[in-house]
A = this chain, B = another copy of it.
Amino acid sequence: MKQAKVTVVDVARAAGVSKSTVSLVLQGSSLVNEVTRARVGAVIRELGYVYNRGAANLRQSKSKIVGIVVNDLTNSFFAELAVGMDMVVQSAGYIQFMANTSENADRQGEVIASMREHGMAGLILSPARGTTAADLRPLVDSGIPVVLVARNVPGLKVSSVVSDGHAGAMAAVRHLIELGHRRIAFLGGFNDTAVFDERMRGFRDALLEAGLDASDELVISSAPSRAGGVVAVERLLSMADRPTAALCFNDAVAFGACDGLRSARIEPGVDFGVIGFDDVIEAKTAVPALTTVSVDPQGMGRRAAQLLLKQINAGDFDAEALVATVRLVVRESCGAPQRVRELTA
């Protein structure tokens, strides 16, 4: 069953040429004669030769491997992000190491170290909570291109692709205000993260701009998950002066909020306005369809991957910070009637 592997030397012998010639054929060089190329090609197929990229990489000291490390693949947002990266990485002829860290910074450190040993050409990282600049310093100092995505790490001079959370949150809150809401909450997310902070500031600035209450009690943090959304909305419902709408930290929280509202017999999109953040794939088909700030995770993933590949190909490069623009997608959950939306669309 197990076959001895065939190498360029075997191919060379069988084709009656030298290994150098075979190598030339392999890289599609124009130096080699047409008929030789054909003969070698035939032998390659016949013997079932498999190119050993590891050996080539060793000689050339470069690889076509990138690393992708993500904090939580079970979250659709990050899964989509990964899929976007996958697309451009694959079609550039690269292949990826991919690992999930489950928000564990230690594990993240281990997998990055392992990827380094395996000779990755660059890394796209959606950092785990608690990642410090010091964790990544050795890697970036070694000259390997690194692109941070979705989240930033303060104090580290590397490229990044993040969404404009402040602008997105402002747009969402302005829309709720236009719909007539006067008391609006911010739901979910851990309040010690940069992303939370940015979105929350956008929320607050929009309220202040309209002269509305923006006090701390309106900000209810929780885990940035569906379950967290349920918890947060329960806290909200127990408030004395109950808000009539909420901007949620992300779509997962928004779905959780809808669940929580419904089990309290409050119909989201009718009795209470809910807006999410991220525009996860389910947002469109959920009932009610989720009004959300679209950040196009696949698109972000693609841009991050493109940026990384650019830096890999450029001999040297500067850190570049891309801010993905963001767009409010009005659907049903905010209380805007669908009919209006269709007419304007």
Contacts and interface: CB of A to CB of B under 8 A. Distances in A.
Contacts of A5: 61
Contacts of A305: none
A80 interface: yes
A64 to B, nearest CB: 8
Contacts of A143: 1-3
A50 B99 contact: no
Contacts of A1: 141, 143, 316
Nearest to A263: B287
A71 to B, nearest CB: 12
Contacts of A95: 97, 99, 111, 114-115, 118
Contact of A99 (B65, B90, B256, B285): B90
A74 B76 contact: yes
Contact of A119 (B53, B110, B255, B263): B53
A79 B90 contact: no
Contacts of A98: 68, 96-99
Most interface-central of A90, A256, A262 (chain B CB within 10 A): A90
A52 interface: yes
Contacts of A285: 226-227, 230, 255-256, 259
A16 interface: no
A50 B107 CA distance: 18
A138 interface: yes
A119 B2 contact: no
B86 A100 contact: yes
Given A114-B95, A287-B262, A55 B58 contact: yes
Contacts of A227: 285
B54 A226 contact: no
Contacts of A65: 118
The 6 closest A-B pairs by CB, nearest first: A2-B143, A98-B98, A259-B287, A53-B117, A226-B285, A86-B100
Interface of A: 1-3, 5, 48, 50-55, 57-58, 61, 63, 65, 68, 73-74, 76, 79-80, 82-83, 86, 90, 95-100, 102, 107, 110-111, 114-119, 138, 141-143, 226-227, 230, 255-256, 258-259, 262-263, 281-282, 285-287, 316
Given A86-B100, A90-B99, A95-B115, 16 more contacts: A1-B143, A2-B142, A3-B143, A5-B61, A54-B119, A73-B79, A73-B82, A73-B86, A74-B79, A74-B83, A76-B76, A76-B79, A83-B102, A97-B98, A259-B285, A262-B287
